[in-house]
Structure 1
Amino acid sequence: MQAGFCCLEVGAVRTKNATNIVMKNLLDIVICALVYYLIGYSLGYGNGSCIIGLTYWAGVGLSEASMAHWFFQFIFAATASTILSGAVAERCNFLAYIIYNAAISGFVYPVVSHWVWHEEGWLVQLGYRDFAGSGAVHALAGTCSFVAAALLGPRHGRFQDGKPLEIAGHSTPLVGVGGLLLISGFLAFNGGSLGHATHPGDGEIIARTIVNTIMGGSGAGLILLGISITGLIGEYHWPFALTLNSILTGMVSICGGADEFSSLGALITGALASPIFLGIHYLMLHFQVDDPLDAVAVHFGGGMWGVISMPLLTKKGILYEGSRKAFKQLGYNFIGLLAISAWSASTSLVIFGILKFSKQFRVSEEEEIIGKPANK
């Protein structure tokens, strides 16, 4: 996943910022590993209360048998913080990047993961269901991305007289390779979310999860192409970036119920994720919020829809059975989505507000125009 994000972001920015983006993606792993080991895993998976965990500080009491779980969850934490880098690309101060990366992966995300996946978590006890993080990872990161991009402001020259001006990245092949790496990474991301592979029936669940992930991405990509070639979003063309991001949005939307969708349900879920992605993409441009990688549209749009589609379109969902249990599940998931979004928005306002108030959030106009590699 990290390699995919790195290639995608590097290809989507201008050459002058390529080294800076690579360095930031490299440090994502280093910073997240440290803060997640010291406090993040404790807050997320330690025993304590329905709000936060209070054990395993600095790895104390963490058995060797639990290291695999720590590693998998560390990747989730790193993904949640890495998503933001696309939204603030080409104008975020390097020091600010280090600070918010540590805060998101070490505090903001772990608290939500405790609510959603630890047996003591209040959303678990309520009945919220999120198999692989549509809400806990993607909606959270998408919300943080929106707050960060809005407070940071658009790149120099991105909007003129209220109209968006295209700022092309320097390498379409790199973007494509990054997208393919992320598509492959999603298979492990979702397939591994079961947490075990040796219990009876695990093989079937993992296989279904992986197939559904592919189907969701396929449905989203095909719908985007259909919308495009029929001229509904402008002149007839084959939009590479929009198609790729639509595919990723479809895969994000599957995370909520990847283990329970039928193949048809996954295809429909992905197909419906595509117009949601497009709607948020154009809303961001309308309000002049600059998001170079469409992080908000992909991750908040796909994550929000994934949380909602799980009780709607899975095999036991409202559109299949229409049971009272399915309607209650929709209510629980909606409450969870609101709670995750509110937590993400409020903590982001504090983190990025302090960075902006202290004038540490954005590089100078001169540095932004000229470019400043991370090693300078």
Structure 2
Amino acid sequence: MDLANETSSTSPTTTAVGSNEIDLKAIQNGLDTLFLLVCGLFVLFMQAGFAFLEAGSVRAKNTTNIILKNVVDVWMAALTYWSIGWAFAYGEPGNAFIGHNYFFASNIDNSFDGTGSVGDTGTADGYYVNWFFQFVFTATASTIVSGAMAERTEFKGYLGYCFFLTAFVYPVVSHWGWSADGWLQNGPNELVFKDFAGSAIVHITGGTAAFVGAVLLGPRIGRFDAQGRPVDSPGHSVPIAALGAFILFVGFLAFNGGSQLSISNPGDGAVVSLVFVNTIIGGSSSAILALLVFKFWYRVRGKENFWSLLITINAGLAGMVSMCAGSNDIYPWAAFVIGLIAGVAFLCWHSLMIKLQIDDPLDAVAVHFGGGMAGILLTPIFSFNGQEENGEYVGGIIYGGHYKAFQGFGWNLVGALTITAWTAAWSLLLFGAMKLVGILRVAEDIEIAGLDVAKHNEPAYPVISYQGFLPDQEVNKSIEDLRLTQMEKHSKKS
């Protein structure tokens, strides 16, 4: 998704049909605008997928809390990206580090006369559609973190994090890699950072913040025993989690396909179709490999072994994340191989997090950081176009073997490490400050009781609503317990 290279078609602008003139440029701009808006709608709907996946993966007592965080991600990202985020990401003029124009959608040519193009973000024709499409990516980067910090995070602390990441941390990263002025777009020897739909820019950013947040927050009460062994803490609804996963599977096609940014130019349709196929193949190979390895690895070791739905879901998502970097520039066989490696990366990060006693209820780090890092590093190896030399593509390491293909791998590695360091530093500062002032984690009694009632007074499954279905004495006991909890809260405040 390179706004630096987004261009309109070079076809003739008008053609005569009888006495009428059809403005081909206007038609092309209309098609490209519709394409981006529809893809953006599907990416926005991915927030519902994240909400269901996370809600099903946490305990019933924290369902309202986790859904509210996903809702807030959307509204917070919209306001911050409109006010300052877009300006930092794509404001023109800008420099190699950050943009600095179009704050609060100011300085836009709002003539609405159709003379601009989708690629001209300084006009109404380009700004509004691109703002919407980029905003939904910003919300995605933010919501990754909510899963890793689920069930024990103070809500006001989450609001602060959500604001800072969508207003500053992520916009700066996207400026580096996707704007015409960004330093990753203008590397030495004309190297370009190859991250088509955000394996690094979106997913490594979100995954790194999730890792730092989970480390500083600490594990949920009872997640590990006194010897450091993991204690199973399952979510309350596998079907709800699976529903969220299916929404995300569909959304990823728009996430990656829409990153072509146009559909009217010659070859656009073929590229978008290739992206769809590669995204499916990469996710599939990752999911099936993880399903088999998770089952038979434990079987070989003589331990209880099962066919895991949640492992399969998350590995599939990791494979799709790995496709974000180069699904427009690899053949399906390469997508299959990259997906396999992403599946291995997911399983390794899943096991490492448990071994280090870092509690990540959604495997957000394994999915987004593991899958993202696999994609961003493997794309320069398997690309069929790759970097350019004297106006011609040199191919990847396998297809071209050109010295610049190796340099392209190194530049992607530099970008991935820099994005990781940038996000980790700001996350450490932000979450560390919150921890010092006591607004990062909820009190122990609230965590044990559940956040839905204590923080929101809106339990996802209020027992009183089952009156006439459950035995009366059970309903009455639950009502009395709720009344006593509320009285205790009021007494503490007074």
Same fold at TM > 0.5: yes
Partner of 1:93: 154
Q: Return the alpha-carbon distance in structure 2 between the equivalents of residues 327 and 14 of structure 1.
A: 47
Deviations 1:205-230 (A, max 9, x none): 10001110000001101111221343
Gaps of 5+ in 2: 1-45, 109-122, 385-394, 458-494
Deviations 1:18-56 (A, max 9, x none): 011111111111111001100000000102111000000
1:61 pairs, out of 102, 107, 124, with: 107
Q: Higher mean Cα deviation, 147-156 or 307-316?
A: 307-316
1:162-201 counterparts in 2 under 5 A? 162-201=228-267
Q: Return the alpha-carbon distance in structure 2 between the equivalents of residues 94 and 293 of structure 1.
A: 18
Q: Return the alpha-carbon distance in structure 1 between the equivalents of residues 279 and 182 of structure 2.
A: 27
SS in 1 for 2:357: coil
Q: Which amino acid aligns with 2:417?
A: L
Q: Return the alpha-carbon distance in structure 1 between the equivalents of residues 328 and 181 of structure 2.
A: 22
Aligned alpha-carbon RMSD (Å): 1.1
In structure 2, the CA distance between the partners of 1:364 and 1:251, relative to structure 1 (3 Å rule), is: same
Partner of 1:43: 88
Report the Cα offset of residue 64 of structure 1. 2.6
Report the Cα offset of residue 319 of structure 1. 2.3
Q: Higher mean Cα deviation, 148-157 or 323-332?
A: 323-332
Partner of 2:279: 213
Partner of 1:357: 436
Partner of 2:403: 324
Q: Higher mean Cα deviation, 224-233 or 45-54?
A: 224-233
State whether residues 278 and 332 of structure 2, in contact with CA within 8 Å, keep that contact through their aligned partners in structure 1. Answer: yes
Partner of 2:135: 74
State whether residues 151 and 451 of structure 2, in contact with CA within 8 Å, keep that contact through their aligned partners in structure 1. Answer: no
Q: Return the alpha-carbon distance in structure 2 between the equivalents of residues 375 and 145 of structure 1.
A: 24
Q: Return the alpha-carbon distance in structure 1 between the equivalents of residues 323 and 297 of structure 2.
A: 27
Bigger-Rg structure (1/2)? 2
The reply to whether residue 23 of structure 1 matches residue 92 of structure 2 is no
The reply to whether residue 309 of structure 1 matches residue 378 of structure 2 is yes
State whether residues 295 and 308 of structure 2, in contact with CA within 8 Å, keep that contact through their aligned partners in structure 1. Answer: no
Q: Return the alpha-carbon distance in structure 2 between the equivalents of residues 363 and 264 of structure 1.
A: 47
State whether residues 287 and 313 of structure 2, in contact with CA within 8 Å, keep that contact through their aligned partners in structure 1. Answer: yes
- TM-score by structure 2 length? 0.75
Q: Which amino acid aligns with 2:71?
A: L
Partner of 1:245: 314
State whether residues 89 and 172 of structure 2, in contact with CA within 8 Å, keep that contact through their aligned partners in structure 1. Answer: yes
Partner of 2:47: 2
Partner of 1:286: 355
Q: Higher mean Cα deviation, 22-31 or 81-90?
A: 22-31
State whether residues 219 and 357 of structure 2, in contact with CA within 8 Å, keep that contact through their aligned partners in structure 1. Answer: yes
Q: Which amino acid aligns with 2:448?
A: I
The reply to whether residue 258 of structure 1 matches residue 327 of structure 2 is yes
Q: Return the alpha-carbon distance in structure 2 between the equivalents of residues 372 and 17 of structure 1.
A: 5
Q: Return the alpha-carbon distance in structure 1 between the equivalents of residues 358 and 105 of structure 2.
A: 40
SS in 2 for 1:163: coil
SS in 2 for 1:291: coil
Q: Return the alpha-carbon distance in structure 2 between the equivalents of residues 312 and 104 of structure 1.
A: 31
State whether residues 218 and 358 of structure 2, in contact with CA within 8 Å, keep that contact through their aligned partners in structure 1. Answer: yes
Q: Return the alpha-carbon distance in structure 1 between the equivalents of residues 280 and 289 of structure 2.
A: 14
2:205 pairs, out of 140, 149, 170, with: 140
Partner of 2:177: 116
Aligned-pair identity in percent equals 47
Q: Return the alpha-carbon distance in structure 2 between the equivalents of residues 169 and 259 of structure 1.
A: 36
Report the Cα offset of residue 200 of structure 1. 1.1
Q: Return the alpha-carbon distance in structure 1 between the equivalents of residues 398 and 230 of structure 2.
A: 40
Count, aligned residues: 376
Q: Return the alpha-carbon distance in structure 2 between the equivalents of residues 275 and 326 of structure 1.
A: 25
The reply to whether residue 274 of structure 1 matches residue 343 of structure 2 is yes
State whether residues 315 and 367 of structure 2, in contact with CA within 8 Å, keep that contact through their aligned partners in structure 1. Answer: yes
| Higher helix proportion | 1
Q: Return the alpha-carbon distance in structure 2 between the equivalents of residues 210 and 119 of structure 1.
A: 26
Partner of 2:223: 158
SS in 1 for 2:246: helix
Report the Cα offset of residue 325 of structure 1. 2.0
State whether residues 223 and 231 of structure 2, in contact with CA within 8 Å, keep that contact through their aligned partners in structure 1. Answer: yes
SS in 2 for 1:175: helix
Deviations 1:299-350 (A, max 9, x none): 0001111110110122232123322121111011001011101101001011
Report the Cα offset of residue 152 of structure 1. 0.4
Report the Cα offset of residue 236 of structure 1. 3.6
Q: Return the alpha-carbon distance in structure 2 between the equivalents of residues 6 and 342 of structure 1.
A: 28
Q: Which amino acid aligns with 1:149?
A: A
Deviations 1:75-133 (A, max 9, x none): 11000000000000000001011110011111100000000000100000012110000
State whether residues 200 and 416 of structure 2, in contact with CA within 8 Å, keep that contact through their aligned partners in structure 1. Answer: yes
Report the Cα offset of residue 232 of structure 1. 4.7
Q: Return the alpha-carbon distance in structure 2 between the equivalents of residues 266 and 172 of structure 1.
A: 29
- Structure 1's consecutive aligned runs of 4 or more residues displaced over 6 angstroms after TM superposition are none
Q: Which amino acid aligns with 1:23?
A: L
Q: Higher mean Cα deviation, 226-235 or 170-179?
A: 226-235
Partner of 1:337: 416
Report the Cα offset of residue 372 of structure 1. 2.2
Partner of 1:13: 58
Q: Higher mean Cα deviation, 107-116 or 312-321?
A: 312-321
